[in-house]
RNA sequence: GGGCCCAUAGCUCAGCGGGAGAGCGCCGCCUUUGCAAGGCGGAGGCCCUGGGUUCAAAUCCCAGUGGGUCCA
């Protein structure tokens, strides 16, 4: 086992006369030009730049960003445009971009794909939700920030096959990285003697390496990471996460310079927020009516300087820390808190609005899943803060202030989304409020506190925070039992570890890996369906079929939501049906019902009709999503797709349900594109060029690996896509939207058909309409009107029948009919058999009871059924009587004492049962 | 991707195996100088859809649809 100590023995440190020292407070090892007590990072030291800027000139955010980027441009770094904050658009292991290196994981860092430039510099917007509780309070934490960075991607040359990686050789490594850092500080006018480089090995995402934290005047301004190791159980280095790591073939300079911190350092304002969004803070303060006296200003100012110590993760007890700070400033804790709280909220609002602007601007749609859920949480939290602190500007306006500053072009959509979402939240709160009030009333009556179980239910199922329950309950004078570990209780309720989805294993993976790459003929000519090939290998499958590998193929393997081709492979002797085609690595495997024979020449024939339909649907998918973007907005993005031969579906991100009008508009636009008969073209450009030219919207269906990517262009629409397409849009024939459904909040599924399938789908719909029209005996276009009339009449008749039944019952009750009267003690019972349904029996019984008599009615209409009803004041339990009667017909029954129903399957025994009724009545009445 | 909750009158909801209810709103009449309010009467329900269990389902079970919510 060895540690990384020697990794920090840089020539640069020696040349510049740095000393390695140990922090007297935290014990960390650090390097600096002059001897010092501590490492200089809070809590070992305090901020030393507030009111005392650490740089020569005050910079705005924009100026600082430009200063950084041009500094590195002058030193041969290429400036790269930032990536979206929604990192799940290019990788599936994370939701949000949390660092600049995220842009290059995993394909670039692993050496599979070349970086867009090498070396490069960038200022990458990032969002870190884990800092959410610190925002506003510590004076330095923001949820949204820009990580300025320079990166260099190096690959070792002393390995067997240096060319296996997408980049070769060393650009630069540790010494240069630290030197750049020093030079940047120097250029900004910092005092180099005050800079501290702390040794702080880095671990994350399966990689690790030595790293350096750069501290200046109490603030961590940069982190220099030298990513050079990967997780390896046999590795020689054990890192702080307890895992072992070994060196890897690529090694990468990964730096992070916090734009906000640098801006703050240049201004020396009490908090980072005032340096970063001075206008918005001023607006919010003014709007919330916050005005401070000079003395109050002094307190806030002093407290802000010391607030650096507060970090919910690090300070052991944030309240204790507040006590200390208050004492040092010379005020009561309560007074300080009262003064600080609204300011903290305002800082948080500004930051959260920026977070929202990033999220929504980059196309995240609020939802109950994924990044959309995070956006919803941030928005709701922000709304609560805004209301709490008394800012009365609409939230969409506040978010727009940031969106404008960030130069987003889709500001109208962003505002629309915020408005929609605020309204949804209001409805949730309304619903929740009613629910809680009702519950509070209930427990107020019982005189009990609202139990934890109810609280968990309210939160988990209805999204009502416990503090809201407490507030409302207090109005009703009910206490609430909120346990300290409330969120743990909620988490427990979810329980269960998710079962990992098992990847289907290829039984002969090793042998497949040795086979050469299959030549993909379907890309050379997408319209051709015949080809010849040599059988390279045949595997016997467990199910009796055969997996056939060819040197080249026209068969499209399943991928990108497009099902595999089918068809035949034939030799002179054998004709094998191809039922499935899959791709494993670079090798395409055809599953066949017969063995064509290894080494044989085969003629391949792809099922042309099937292929044609799949291609029509695939190209139509591109057209529909393009049309949907035109109609619904630029935020529309593919969230999944499946093509078929009869229909296809795409799931798109959108924040409200799609109206019938919008559906028609999308359909019309799509068919315009079809009628324009535009050529559908494919090309294989360099991926970085393609990204630069078209941006990230290329990747609607996932991100492909490799140096070249395949682009499909349909008019204005360009997408990275591996599927097969028709030659011209006119080949699609027609596009028909069949259905829209909301599969989750923020995701709409559009189902549609193309070509003949569109005609067939239309015919099915028309068949249904025609059939309905035939039944109603009207013309198809009169169906809605007629159906409405019929429905109205049907309801009117129902009511009429109801009334007639009541009249009939009254008539029967007074007219006698074939009824029998029996004395039961003081009372008289009317026994009657009328073969009618339950409704009629009930009406009849009511009529008899109104005359003061007991009703015992039987019906043989559907099995045997009884209704027994007893007037007020007569001591006979109807339920018991029915129970006895029903026993005779093999069933059961019951009900309240004054009205009971029952029955049984044996209708033949009905009359016998009624004959026994007098005796049953007398027994039950006990007379 | 997973968990939980909900669907009954125009609105908000109660009922949770036996007769479909309340409050608000609506219509009419009464009281009142008028308004606010009050009294009396009335209209208004495919109890989300489809299966199942049961003598009997708004109610229990299953599936679907629509909505809400929490978590990863």
Question: By the 8 A CB rule, do A755 and A725 touch?
Answer: no
Phi, psi dihedral angles at A809 (to 5 degrees):
-60, -45
Q: What is the mean pLDDT of residues A732-761?
A: 90
Indicate if the alpha-carbon torsion angle A752, A753, A758, A764 is positive or negative: negative
- Those residues with Cβ within 8 angstroms of residue A116's Cβ, 6 or more apart along the chain or in another chain: A78, A80, A688, A691, A692
Q: Is A477 left (phi over 0), alpha (psi -120 to 50) or beta?
A: left
Task: Tell whether domain A612-767 is in CATH 3.40.50.800.
Answer: no
Distance in angstroms: CA A669, C1' B8: 42
Residue labelled with tokens 């346990």: A483
d(CA A543, CA A712): 38
Query: Quick one: CA torsion of A589, A593, A599, A602, rounded to 10 degrees?
Result: -90
pLDDT at A907: 85
Distances (CA, A) of A192 to A69, A103, A110, A182, A218: 21, 31, 36, 7, 14
Q: Give me the A residues in range 283-342 that sit within 7 A (CB) of strand B.
A: none
Nucleotide nearest to A791 (CA to C1'): B46
Q: Is A622 annotated as a binding residue?
A: yes
Residue labelled with tokens 């999944």: A640
Q: Where do the DSSP E strands lie in A259-398?
A: none
Distance in angstroms: CA A173, C1' B3: 48
Q: Give me the A residues in range 451-510 that sit within 7 A (CB) of strand B.
A: 457, 459-463, 487, 490-491, 493-494, 496, 498
Report which of A130, A127, A142 is spatially closest to residue A280, judged by C-alpha positions.
A142
Phi, psi dihedral angles at A857 (to 5 degrees):
-120, 145
Strand B contact with A218 (CB < 7 A): no
Closest residue to B46 (CA to C1') is A795
Q: Is A725 annotated as a binding residue?
A: yes
Burial of A577 (0-12, 13-18, 19+ CB in 10 A): middle
Strand B contact with A799 (CB < 7 A): yes
- pTM, 2 dp: 0.84
Strand B contact with A846 (CB < 7 A): yes
CB-CB neighbours of A287 under 10 Å = 16
Stretch (H or E) spanning A537: strand A530-540
Phi, psi dihedral angles at A459 (to 5 degrees):
-75, -50
Nucleotide nearest to A498 (CA to C1'): B2
Strand B contact with A839 (CB < 7 A): yes
The average confidence (pLDDT) of chain A is 88
Percent of chain A with pLDDT over 90: 42
Give first-to-last CA distance, chain A, whole Å: 99
Residue labelled with tokens 């450009």: A685
pLDDT at A2: 46
Strand B contact with A428 (CB < 7 A): yes
Distance in angstroms: CA A453, C1' B19: 36
Token duo for residue A907: 């209708």
d(CA A766, CA A769): 5
pLDDT at A472: 85
Q: What is the pLDDT of residues A385-413, one digit of tens each?
A: 999 899 989 999 999 999 999 988 889 99
Q: What is the pLDDT of residues A153-186, one digit of tens each?
A: 999 988 888 888 889 899 999 999 999 999 999 9
Confidence band, pLDDT 50/70/90 cuts, at residue A479: confident
Q: Is A888 annotated as a binding residue?
A: no
pLDDT at A252: 94
Distance in angstroms: CA A228, C1' B72: 30
Strand B contact with A821 (CB < 7 A): no
Least confident of A440-444, A605-609, A728-732: A440-444
Q: Give me the A residues in range 341-400 that sit within 7 A (CB) of strand B.
A: 368-370, 373, 376-377, 380
Report which of A609, A611, A668 is spatially closest to residue A643, judged by C-alpha positions.
A611
Distance in angstroms: CA A742, C1' B13: 27
**A197 alpha carbon, distance to own chain's centre:** 39
pLDDT: is A188 or A501 the higher one?
A188
Token duo for residue A386: 């805004």
pLDDT of A188 over the 90 cut: yes
Distance in angstroms: CA A481, C1' B60: 33
Q: What is the pLDDT of residues A487-510, one digit of tens each?
A: 888 877 776 544 444 444 566 777
Burial of A406 (0-12, 13-18, 19+ CB in 10 A): middle
Question: By the 8 A CB rule, do A110 and A324 touch?
Answer: no
Distance in angstroms: CA A703, C1' B1: 20
- Those residues with Cβ within 8 angstroms of residue A804's Cβ, 6 or more apart along the chain or in another chain: none
Q: Are both A612-767 and A803-925 of the same fold?
A: no
Q: In this structure, are strands A211-216 and A195-199 parallel, antiparallel, or unpaired?
A: antiparallel
pLDDT at A319: 67
pLDDT at A497: 44
Nucleotide nearest to A842 (CA to C1'): B19
Strand B contact with A869 (CB < 7 A): yes
Q: Which strand B bases fall within 7 angstroms of a protein CB?
A: 1-5, 12-14, 18-20, 44-46, 54-56, 65-72
Stretch (H or E) spanning A68: helix A61-73
Strand B contact with A865 (CB < 7 A): yes
pLDDT of A698 over the 70 cut: yes
Distance in angstroms: CA A118, C1' B10: 67
Strand B contact with A892 (CB < 7 A): yes
pLDDT at A201: 92
Question: By the 8 A CB rule, do A409 and A363 touch?
Answer: no
Q: What is the pLDDT of residues A560-593, one digit of tens each?
A: 888 999 999 999 999 999 999 998 888 999 999 9
pLDDT at A505: 54
Domain boundaries, chain A: 41-268, 271-408, 411-495, 509-606, 612-767, 803-925
- How would DSSP label each residue in A165-222? SSS-B-S--HHHHHHHHHHHHHHHT--GGGEEEEE--EEETTEEE-EEEEEETTEEEE
Distance in angstroms: CA A385, C1' B11: 31
The CATH number corresponding to A509-606 among 3.40.50.300, 3.30.565.10, 2.40.30.130, 3.40.50.40 equals: 2.40.30.130
Token duo for residue A795: 């309801």
Token duo for residue A176: 């240069």
Q: What is the pLDDT of residues A214-262, one digit of tens each?
A: 999 988 999 999 999 988 888 888 888 888 899 999 999 999 999 999 9
Q: What is the pLDDT of residues A766-798, one digit of tens each?
A: 888 888 888 889 998 888 888 888 888 888 888
Report which of A264, A296, A293, A266 is spatially closest to residue A277, judged by C-alpha positions.
A264
Strand B contact with A745 (CB < 7 A): yes
Nucleotide nearest to A894 (CA to C1'): B18
Least confident of A38-52, A162-176, A280-294, A412-426: A38-52
Nucleotide nearest to A430 (CA to C1'): B12
CB-CB neighbours of A17 under 10 Å = 8
pLDDT at A503: 43
pLDDT at A176: 96
Distances (CA, A) of A659 to A374, A377, A740: 26, 27, 9
Strand B contact with A898 (CB < 7 A): yes
- Those residues with Cβ within 8 angstroms of residue A810's Cβ, 6 or more apart along the chain or in another chain: A847
pLDDT: is A47 or A2 the higher one?
A47
Closest residue to B68 (CA to C1') is A462
Distance in angstroms: CA A859, C1' B61: 29
CB-CB neighbours of A758 under 10 Å = 25
Distance in angstroms: CA A457, C1' B71: 14
Distance in angstroms: CA A884, C1' B17: 19
pLDDT of A722 over the 90 cut: no
pLDDT at A313: 56
Report which of A513, A503, A534 is spatially closest to residue A584, judged by C-alpha positions.
A513
Could you please state the CATH topology (level 3) that the domain comprising A803-925 is classified under. Answer: Diaminopimelate Epimerase; Chain A, domain 1 (3.10.310)
Distance in angstroms: CA A709, C1' B71: 36
pLDDT of A348 over the 60 cut: yes
pLDDT of A122 over the 70 cut: yes
- Those residues with Cβ within 8 angstroms of residue A531's Cβ, 6 or more apart along the chain or in another chain: A521, A552, A553, A554, A603, A604
Helices (H) and strands (E) in chain A, counts: 25, 33
pLDDT of A314 over the 60 cut: no
Strand B contact with A740 (CB < 7 A): no
Distances (CA, A) of A477 to A140, A430, A432, A445, A455: 40, 20, 18, 10, 17
Could you please state the CATH topology (level 3) that the domain comprising A41-268 is classified under. Answer: BirA Bifunctional Protein; domain 2 (3.30.930)
Q: Is A353 annotated as a binding residue?
A: no
Complex confidence, ipTM: 0.86
pLDDT at A635: 85
Distance in angstroms: CA A663, C1' B49: 24
């Amino acid at each position: 086992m060895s540690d990384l100590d020697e990794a920090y023995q840089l020539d640069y440190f020696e040349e510049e006369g740095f000393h390695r020292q140990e922090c007297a407070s935290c014990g960390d090892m650090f390097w600096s030009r002059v001897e010092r007590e501590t490492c200089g990072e809070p809590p070992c030291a305090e901020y030393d730049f507030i009111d005392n800027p650490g740089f020569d000139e005050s910079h705005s955010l924009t100026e600082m960003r430009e200063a950084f980027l041009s500094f590195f441009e002058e030193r041969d770094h290429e400036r790269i445009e930032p990536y979206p904050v929604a990192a799940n658009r290019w990788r599936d292991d994370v939701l949000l971009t949390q660092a600049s290196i995220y842009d290059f994981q995993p394909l670039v860092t692993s050496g599979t794909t070349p970086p867009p430039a090498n070396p490069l510099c960038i200022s990458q917007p990032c969002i870190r939700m884990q800092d959410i509780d610190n925002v506003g309070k510590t004076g330095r934490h923001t949820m949204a920030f820009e990580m300025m960075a320079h990166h260099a991607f190096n690959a070792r040359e002393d390995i067997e096959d240096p060319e296996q990686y997408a980049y070769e050789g060393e650009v630069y490594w540790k010494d240069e990285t630290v030197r750049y850092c020093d030079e940047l500080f120097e250029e900004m006018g910092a005092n180099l003697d005050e800079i501290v480089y702390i040794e702080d090995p880095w671990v994350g995402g399966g990689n690790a390496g030595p790293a350096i934290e750069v501290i200046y005047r109490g603030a961590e301004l940069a982190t220099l990471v030298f990513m050079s190791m990967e997780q390896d159980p046999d590795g020689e280095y054990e890192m702080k996460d307890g895992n072992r790591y070994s060196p890897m073939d690529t090694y990468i300079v990964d730096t992070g310079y916090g734009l906000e911190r640098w801006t703050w350092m240049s201004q020396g304002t009490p908090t980072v927020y005032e340096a970063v969004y001075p206008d918005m803070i001023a607006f919010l303060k003014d709007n919330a009516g916050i005005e401070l006296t000079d003395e109050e200003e002094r307190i806030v100012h002093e407290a802000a300087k010391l607030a650096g110590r507060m970090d919910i993760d690090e300070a052991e007890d944030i309240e204790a820390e507040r006590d200390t700070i208050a004492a040092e400033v010379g005020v009561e804790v309560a007074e300080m808190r009262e003064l600080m709280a609204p300011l903290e909220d305002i800082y948080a609002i500004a930051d959260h609005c920026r977070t929202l602007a990033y999220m929504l601007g980059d196309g995240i749609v609020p939802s109950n899943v994924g990044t959309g859920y995070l956006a919803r949480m941030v928005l709701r939290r922000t709304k609560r803060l805004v209301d709490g602190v008394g800012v009365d500007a609409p939230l969409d306006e506040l978010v727009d202030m940031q969106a404008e500053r960030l130069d987003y072009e889709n500001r109208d959509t962003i505002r629309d989304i915020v408005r929609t979402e605020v309204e949804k939240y209001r409805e949730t709160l309304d619903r929740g409020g009613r629910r809680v009030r009702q519950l509070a009333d209930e427990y107020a009556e019982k005189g009990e506190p609202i139990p934890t179980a109810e609280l968990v239910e309210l939160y988990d199922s209805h999204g009502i925070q416990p503090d809201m329950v407490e507030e409302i309950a207090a109005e009703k004078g009910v206490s609430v039992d909120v346990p300290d570990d409330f969120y743990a209780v909620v988490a427990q309720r979810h329980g269960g570890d998710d079962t990992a989805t098992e990847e289907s294993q290829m039984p002969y993976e090793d042998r497949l890996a040795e086979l050469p790459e299959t030549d993909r003929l379907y890309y050379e000519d997408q319209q051709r369906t015949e080809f010849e090939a040599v059988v390279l290998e045949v595997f016997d499958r467990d199910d009796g079929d055969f997996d056939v590998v060819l040197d080249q193929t026209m068969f499209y393997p399943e991928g990108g939501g497009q099902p595999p081709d089918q068809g035949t492979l034939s030799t002179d002797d054998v004709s094998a049906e191809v039922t499935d085609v899959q791709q494993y690595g670079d090798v395409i495997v055809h599953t066949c019902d017969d063995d064509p024979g290894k080494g044989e020449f085969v003629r391949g024939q792809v099922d042309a009709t099937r292929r044609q339909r799949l291609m029509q649907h695939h190209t139509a998918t591109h057209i529909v999503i393009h049309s949907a973007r035109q109609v619904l907005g630029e935020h529309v993005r593919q969230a999944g797709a499946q093509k078929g031969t009869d229909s296809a579906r795409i799931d798109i991100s959108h924040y409200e349900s799609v109206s019938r009008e919008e559906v028609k508009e999308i359909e019309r636009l799509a068919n315009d594109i079809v009628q324009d008969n535009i050529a559908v073209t494919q090309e294989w450009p360099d991926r970085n060029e393609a990204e630069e030219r078209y941006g990230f919207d290329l990747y609607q269906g996932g991100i492909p690996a490799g140096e070249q990517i395949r682009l499909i262009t349909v008019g204005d629409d360009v997408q990275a896509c591996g599927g097969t397409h028709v030659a011209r849009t006119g080949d699609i024939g027609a596009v028909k939207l069949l259905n829209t459904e909301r599969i989750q909040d923020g995701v709409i599924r559009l189902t549609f058909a193309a070509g003949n399938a569109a005609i067939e789908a239309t015919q099915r719909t028309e068949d249904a309409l025609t059939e309905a029209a035939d039944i109603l005996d009207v013309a198809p276009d009169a169906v809605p009107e007629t159906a409405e009339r019929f429905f109205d009449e049907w309801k009117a008749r129902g009511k009429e029948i109801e009334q007639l039944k009541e009249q009939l019952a009254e008539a029967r009750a007074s007219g006698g009919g074939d009824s029998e009267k029996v004395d039961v003690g003081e009372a008289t019972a009317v026994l009657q058999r009328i073969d009618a349904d339950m409704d009629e029996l009930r009406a009849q019984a009511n009529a008899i009871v109104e005359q003061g008599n007991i009703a015992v009615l039987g019906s043989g209409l559907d099995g045997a059924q009884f209704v027994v009803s007893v007037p007020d004041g007569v001591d006979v339990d109807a339920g018991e009587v029915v129970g006895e009667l029903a026993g005779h017909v093999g069933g059961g029954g019951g009900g309240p004492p004054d009205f009971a129903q029952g029955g049984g399957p044996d209708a033949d025994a009905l009359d016998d049962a009624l004959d026994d009724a007098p005796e049953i009545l007398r027994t039950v009445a006990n007379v």
